[in-house]
Structure 1
């Protein structure tokens, strides 16, 4: 098993083991956090329900006292009795009602004061000695809960049963004010630890709480709250450094929310501590594993990558490369074999290059021998035909013919310049103009004059344009040679206004040029030779292409691929 533990398998096993461990830790941590949070939320919900029950009892008590005194016969007939009784008896009646109000407060911790206000005579009776106690009663027209000056009141009015279609004026109002301090102390029962807070949140954004509440938290809570009676709703709130869960209970009678929020960071600190310890352990294991992997890399994988790079260099044609690094390890025998193999390949390629150069030289001489005699015979026949009546034509013909053949006899190398090759073609055109009515134009950009080029590739195309194009079309007499450069390709276009070729004939000609053997007979041999030499010398991206020009004649395009950085030719 250990012998088969290759580098990749070891890395895969290590990564799989690490990911499995991290996944298990993540799942366990999430389960622990979720369980703890669920227990916390459950306890908070129970306490919130407990406080809600107490608050419902307080509200019921206040409601009962308000209805009790609103329906009390002494209170109800007090205004009539005041008119009938003497001042003394009237005051005693008032004192009796006040005593009953005070006795009611003795049995309740949640009620701060009870007041009765008779609207017609403006009489106010209350257990509170505050002068401002009367003020909340002035504007009351219907029973219900009110929040006035951060205090909670329940108001009962007489008549306490009103029909909507026949509203009667209110005779008197009974107001029960709840004890703020008691309500605030009640909120403390809604929390179960120091990380929790509770408060009442009213529709107008007022609240009761003994502790300051974060404004951002209040704003977030106000946007989330939903008035759903009978259900405790949970919300999550997060800041950059703090996490909270918020519980709310809607109290429909007060249009108020009983809210608790708990900071969970304190409870999750032990889990965070365990997580950090575990992460440190994982990092230590990972570091140790990386050291082991690095050791394997230095001893094995790096040498494999080195071999791969060297083989790539050999594939790209660098046969002089050798491995001189890390020759003192177990890869020494393999490196030595590689160096010996590449040396043998290099010798083989040198021998093959020499043989190829000799073959190309012989082929070039053979192709030149096929081209030159054809033109020489035509020129000599022309001289013979004009010698008797035009000595000047003979002299001009002889002069350009001498220049023409001097160019051929001086070809002791495989390359000439583009300007020299075009001058050679121009000698040929001038010779043709002596015997034919031909007009020609040569366009060579100055920057391309010294471009190296193989000889005898333009003249055969020009000759073909005259013999098979112009001579086959009555009135045709124009030949243009245009040279351009497009990126890494030199384009030499030879155009004539001769009879041209149909698309089918062009396709047939291109098929003949792609053949490994020249076409039968003499037609097309010159173009086949040029196309073959271009491909042999400049690669398969070079060669001839044909198209119909604007004159209706044929344009032959010589494409010569000249890469920016030439590789070694074989």
Structure 2
């Protein structure tokens, strides 16, 4: 697996890991920013609700005092009593009402003044009995909240309750003026810190604030405002350099908005700074990582790939390859060991080839020496016995005997063709048919004639079929040689109609052939030798197999399994 991990894949994985880390950090940073912003907005909403609650209490208090004095009997009958009372008693009555109004101011922090104005008499009682104080009362015809000269008033009129749906003119007006500075001081409770500001916006025109409000922000907010009395509405406002979130709460009784806005840059700036530091760190890690990868590639990976390439050449049989590139200390010893190892392997293969050639030559000479001399004697005696009355038989015997021994004496190569090996076996069979009653048949497909084959591999099996098969059974006289091919092997089946072998004898014979040493004596040595040569030359899947045929005799199957190299040769022969 490590051999297949290319450098490009490693770089891709490294970059992917960095991008994944960067993405996770970006997501975490966004989540942190969102969480912080949500917490800030939540805190601002709570503060806004708190101020709204205080303001509702102030308005309720002003409303209550206005209604209280509008329905008060002393106030309602004050004008009629003044006419009937003396000047002293009238003044005392006036002082009594004013004292009651002033007592309210002592118990309230939000009320600046309270006044009562009788329209028909144009008389005015107030805690602030100045000419300017009575002016806001003159135009009032109905109860409600008003902004007059930058101050917030609540007006109650008498009659307070209209009868039968008829609008009756106001007899007198009770006005409660709230402290503007106190209302502005409430705005401090609606801000988080110096990055926040709050203000009241009345009728979307008049502004109350303790701090200066940016005009562009005010215009943008004014265009976005919608009256939603029961909820706090959030808006976003952005400039080139700053980001804001804006919260507004509509106060329906006074037709005003309580608005707070916060610049988020001051809160998110530490996170932005951390993000920038992290990005710089990621770039530094990326640069360092690429440098390490380049160094690894130059000093290690390239040398490892070179070593892998050289090993592949050795596997393909190129034992002359060497590593001649200059390298550093880490790989110098390894490359030197590789060159030494390949040189040793090359010497070993040369030595092995020499020994193999010598062994095959010795085996061939041994096989040539093992040819039964009795075969020659019997053939010569046959020639002598028929020389006087059958010259043709002498000529045929002499011809095939000469071809037989010429093949043996001139055999100096390690491979022959299948056709020549079968011709050699046929010479032997013809010689045997001249002296004995034997019939034979050889079936060789034409496309297999030039197939390379190790020499003297078929004749010993044919000779064994005649000596131990046909000669051991009365009337036996048939020998067949059948050559076939499969996908990866060649089979040569040699069958006779001799006495055959029992299953126990076949098993015993197969056991002898599997032995590493030849059987004692001369019986079975030929078959053991053929089986051993087949396995040594063509691999462990090759060898001899035995079975009883339809004649009752023995069939010897010679299986030749071609390796990859032999298979290529076979395929070439088959195509030719």
**Matched residues in 2 for 1:393 and 1:496: separation?**
25
When the two chains are superposed, the root-mean-square deviation of aligned CA atoms in Å is 5.0
**Matched residues in 1 for 2:378 and 2:34: separation?**
103
Within a 5 Å distance, the mapping from 1:240-259 to structure 2 comes to none
Confirm or deny: 8 A CA contact 2:513 2:528 kept in the other structure.
Answer: yes
Q: Are 1:559 and 2:559 matched, yes or no?
A: yes
Report the counterpart of residue 369 of structure 1 in structure 2: 369
Report the counterpart of residue 331 of structure 1 in structure 2: 331
Report the counterpart of residue 292 of structure 1 in structure 2: 292
Confirm or deny: 8 A CA contact 1:371 1:526 kept in the other structure.
Answer: no
1:466, distance to aligned residue in structure 2 (A): 2.0
1:555, distance to aligned residue in structure 2 (A): 2.3
1:194, distance to aligned residue in structure 2 (A): 6.8
Q: Are 1:534 and 2:519 matched, yes or no?
A: no
**Matched residues in 2 for 1:539 and 1:566: separation?**
11
1:23, distance to aligned residue in structure 2 (A): 9.8
Kindly provide the CA deviation profile for residues 53-90 of structure 1, in whole angstroms up to 9, marking residues without a partner as x.
xxxxxxxxxxxxxxxxxxxxxxxxxxxxxxxxxxxxxx
- In structure 2, the residue corresponding to 1:471 is in which secondary structure? helix
Structure 2 vs 1, CA of residues 296 and 327 (structure 1 numbering), >3 Å: closer, same or farther?
Answer: closer
1:388, distance to aligned residue in structure 2 (A): 6.4
1:278, distance to aligned residue in structure 2 (A): 6.2
Confirm or deny: 8 A CA contact 2:418 2:450 kept in the other structure.
Answer: yes
Confirm or deny: 8 A CA contact 1:462 1:494 kept in the other structure.
Answer: yes
My pick for the range that moved more, 499-508 or 420-429, is 499-508
1:365, distance to aligned residue in structure 2 (A): 0.5
Structure 2 vs 1, CA of residues 474 and 416 (structure 1 numbering), >3 Å: closer, same or farther?
Answer: same
Structure 2 vs 1, CA of residues 525 and 35 (structure 1 numbering), >3 Å: closer, same or farther?
Answer: same
Confirm or deny: 8 A CA contact 2:368 2:408 kept in the other structure.
Answer: no
Q: How many residues align?
A: 355
Q: Are 1:404 and 2:404 matched, yes or no?
A: yes
Highest CA radius of gyration, 1 or 2?
2
- In structure 2, the residue corresponding to 1:331 is in which secondary structure? helix
**Matched residues in 2 for 1:403 and 1:380: separation?**
15
TM-score, length basis structure 1: 0.50
**Matched residues in 1 for 2:436 and 2:42: separation?**
112
Report the counterpart of residue 426 of structure 1 in structure 2: 426
Within a 5 Å distance, the mapping from 1:6-405 to structure 2 comes to 25=25, 28=28, 32=32, 192-193=233-234, 282=282, 285-286=285-286, 288-311=288-311, 313-314=313-314, 317-327=317-327, 331-332=331-332, 334-383=334-383, 390-405=390-405
**Matched residues in 1 for 2:16 and 2:284: separation?**
17
**Matched residues in 2 for 1:20 and 1:285: separation?**
14
1:368, distance to aligned residue in structure 2 (A): 2.2
- In structure 1, the residue corresponding to 2:556 is in which secondary structure? strand
Structure 2 vs 1, CA of residues 29 and 462 (structure 1 numbering), >3 Å: closer, same or farther?
Answer: farther
Kindly provide the CA deviation profile for residues 534-565 of structure 1, in whole angstroms up to 9, marking residues without a partner as x.
23333434322223334443222223344453
**Matched residues in 1 for 2:230 and 2:378: separation?**
123
Structure 2 vs 1, CA of residues 285 and 393 (structure 1 numbering), >3 Å: closer, same or farther?
Answer: same
Structure 2 vs 1, CA of residues 535 and 551 (structure 1 numbering), >3 Å: closer, same or farther?
Answer: same
Structure 2 vs 1, CA of residues 330 and 491 (structure 1 numbering), >3 Å: closer, same or farther?
Answer: same
Report the counterpart of residue 481 of structure 2 in structure 1: 481
**Matched residues in 2 for 1:298 and 1:438: separation?**
78
Confirm or deny: 8 A CA contact 1:488 1:564 kept in the other structure.
Answer: no
**Matched residues in 2 for 1:465 and 1:188: separation?**
118
Structure 2 vs 1, CA of residues 280 and 452 (structure 1 numbering), >3 Å: closer, same or farther?
Answer: farther
1:488, distance to aligned residue in structure 2 (A): 4.0
TM-score, length basis structure 2: 0.50
- In structure 1, the residue corresponding to 2:495 is in which secondary structure? strand
**Matched residues in 2 for 1:505 and 1:188: separation?**
113
Report the counterpart of residue 471 of structure 1 in structure 2: 471
Report the counterpart of residue 437 of structure 2 in structure 1: 437
- In structure 1, the residue corresponding to 2:414 is in which secondary structure? coil
Confirm or deny: 8 A CA contact 1:490 1:561 kept in the other structure.
Answer: yes
1:322, distance to aligned residue in structure 2 (A): 0.4
Structure 2 vs 1, CA of residues 22 and 546 (structure 1 numbering), >3 Å: closer, same or farther?
Answer: farther
My pick for the range that moved more, 312-321 or 32-41, is 32-41
My pick for the range that moved more, 363-372 or 390-399, is 390-399
Kindly provide the CA deviation profile for residues 25-52 of structure 1, in whole angstroms up to 9, marking residues without a partner as x.
4884596489589989999xx9xxxxxx
Report the counterpart of residue 450 of structure 1 in structure 2: 450
**Matched residues in 1 for 2:465 and 2:274: separation?**
90
**Matched residues in 1 for 2:565 and 2:507: separation?**
33
**Matched residues in 1 for 2:229 and 2:310: separation?**
78
1:331, distance to aligned residue in structure 2 (A): 3.2
- In structure 2, the residue corresponding to 1:481 is in which secondary structure? strand
**Matched residues in 2 for 1:413 and 1:23: separation?**
74
**Matched residues in 2 for 1:40 and 1:470: separation?**
112
Kindly provide the CA deviation profile for residues 197-235 of structure 1, in whole angstroms up to 9, marking residues without a partner as x.
xxxxxxxxxxxxxxxxxxxxxxxxxxxxxxxxxxxxxxx
**Matched residues in 2 for 1:188 and 1:399: separation?**
131
1:300, distance to aligned residue in structure 2 (A): 2.0
Confirm or deny: 8 A CA contact 1:367 1:529 kept in the other structure.
Answer: no
1:20, distance to aligned residue in structure 2 (A): 10
Structure 2 vs 1, CA of residues 379 and 301 (structure 1 numbering), >3 Å: closer, same or farther?
Answer: same
